[in-house]
Amino acid sequence: MDPLKFFKCLSDDTRLKSLLLISKFGEVCVCDLMDALCLDQPKISRHLAELRKCGILLDDRRGKWVYYRFHPELPEWARAVIQQSAEHNQSYFEEASTRLHASQTGKSTCL
């Protein structure tokens, strides 16, 4: 993976928060990211498509929804950058993480 391409993919707030959430939760549904980031489905899907094109994420369609996780061929150095960023910057995506957890337990908090 080209490091320039990788870091350009991380340079957007929505994409970065999505990756940090996926790092924390392992696998995330588009519907959960909608709640976590309080954004509509087309915007979330567009950003996730970019991350797929970068080779960072892999998607899995299950009925109506699509689930995302790290691509199994993501280089270890790239995975480490994302995981360490999540570990050391929890305040950056804490609200989104709380909303994602609420969404997964059926208690959506977005209006």
Q: 109 pLDDT band (50/70/90 cuts)? A: low
Chain-centre distance of CA 23, in angstroms? 7
Q: Which of 16-20, 44-48, 97-101, 104-108 has the lowest mean pLDDT?
A: 104-108
The pLDDT tens digits of the residues spanning 2-16 come to 999 999 999 999 999
Nearest CA among 22, 3, 4, 6 for reference residue 54: 6
Question: Rounded to 5, what percent of the chain is helix, strand, coil?
Answer: 60, 15, 25
Question: Residue 111: is its pLDDT beyond 50?
Answer: no
For each of the domains in the chain, give its residue range(s) and CATH number, in order of start. 3-100 (1.10.10.10)
pLDDT digits (tens, 9 = 90+) for 46-83: 999 999 999 999 999 988 888 999 999 999 999 999 99
Provide the terminal-to-terminal Cα distance of the chain, rounded to the nearest Å.
39
Q: Maximum Cα–Cα distance for the chain, whole Å?
A: 39
Model confidence, pTM: 0.91
